[in-house]
Chain A
Amino acid sequence: MKGFDPVTLATPFFIITVILEIVLARFGALKAQYETKDTAVSLTMGLVSSVAGLLTAGASFAAAMWIYQHRLFTIPMTAIWAWILVFLLEDMTYYWFHRLSHERRFWWAAHVNHHSSQHYNLSTALRQTWTGGLAGTWALWLPLSLIGFPPAMVLIQKGVSLVYQYWIHTEAIRRLPRPIEAVFNTPSHHRVHHARNPRYLDRNYAGILIIWDRMFGTFQPELDEEACRYGLVHNLGTFNIVRVAFHEWIGMAQDIARQPRHILGWLFGAPGWTPDGSRDTSAKLKAEWAARQAATESEREAA
């Protein structure tokens, strides 16, 4: 297991499948939409994120090793039951990490760039954060080392999860057989997650298993009558990669500088939170959408 990194091993697969998706879409053999500047931003974000990750990877791994020295149990890396258990616990941890990254602005600032493309294709999967390590969400995985999973085992499982989530960033696969859609995160479920339609906002946080969304009330199936529109609630007006990477951090800093007494709200409120409610949060957009739906419904009934 020494030196085993699923992400590194999968990199040639990432490259080959992006090339295939572009070429096959060009000849109409599958559904995928690419735009040159958008693709350039996504792929460059991915490349630089692998370097940026190095800045904090040492510290996060050292923290995991320290915690592991104070572990409650000793879990063998060679046992199959241990891998099944770490698969489930890591995937549930990912769900909560991902939910936190959408529902609190400080962590959204690190995650937002992954959602900033108006396209949904395999290159979008590689549009990864540069500031995730600094946001400190790696700490959410430390309890696994405290339980007794070796840090290398947790890292491998995190890599497996990342590789799994790559292939679901596509419009080329419509729906998979029902038993698979019921249990696993699929392209259909993840399209909903990347959609900016109010009905779809803040849904389907799953990594590998969609069961967590079903359990914790955040599941939303993709509906034939409502096509996904991708990107952010307020889409970026630029392809400047520095703005793509840091815009939410800059916006947050500007808000704090302007109204420092609301610092906790600016940092840990929902994205879009303001003291006077003048901006759009997901909850506000969903409520407005629901009100419009209800009004349309009653008009239809009256007619």
Chain B
Amino acid sequence: MTRRRGRGQVPRVNSAYLIQLAVSAVAVGLMIGLAAWATRGRGAPPLDEATARRWLADEFPGREVESLWIATDGLGALAKSGDRALILTRVGDGYAARQIDWSKALAARAQDGRVRIALADVTAPKAVLALGVWPPKELAA
């Protein structure tokens, strides 16, 4: 937003440009601060079962949820759907959803009550879910 161009000119870096860039950076900081103030105390509530099921239905239409585990901190969920694991992780006030083989989800181990599941995705490398004991006793081999 700070380029200056004209007829027969190529963009160039000069002191005016640097001042413009610095002012823009200050303005960006101000707007981020304002957004933080405006949204304080208005974060998304912890994930509950109904919300998780709604998200899963939107993200994986047609997939039936057989079992659902909600993270104890309300920041995500994991569902079993046939041979697939459907995973929700909180991002800001929304969620990112991914699916992996159920066997890979089952093979993940819990440490300090948190399950770390590798998603092998550059945009969501891993899911860390506070699921307590994992795998659940009824599913553990």
Contact = CB atoms under 8 A, between A and B. Distances in A.
A172 interface: no
Interface in A160-200: none
Nearest to A46: B1
B91 A150 contact: no
Contacts of A238: 91, 123-125
Contact of A14 (B1, B61, B122): B1
B31 interface: yes
A7 B3 contact: yes
Interface string B1-44: 11111111111010000001100110110111011111100000
Given A25-B38, A237-B124, A43 B31 contact: yes
B24 A57 contact: no
A145 to B, nearest CB: 13
Contacts of B97: 234-235
Contacts of A54: 3, 11, 13
Interface of A: 1-5, 7-8, 11, 14-15, 18-19, 22-23, 25-26, 33-40, 43-44, 46-47, 50-51, 53-54, 57-58, 61-62, 65, 118, 123, 126, 150, 152, 155, 229, 231, 234-239, 243, 247, 250-251, 254, 288-289, 292
28 contacts: A1-B6, A3-B6, A8-B4, A11-B2, A15-B31, A19-B34, A23-B38, A26-B37, A33-B93, A39-B32, A47-B24, A50-B2, A51-B2, A51-B21, A53-B11, A54-B13, A118-B94, A152-B6, A231-B94, A235-B96, A235-B97, A236-B91, A236-B123, A237-B127, A238-B123, A238-B125, A251-B123, A292-B62
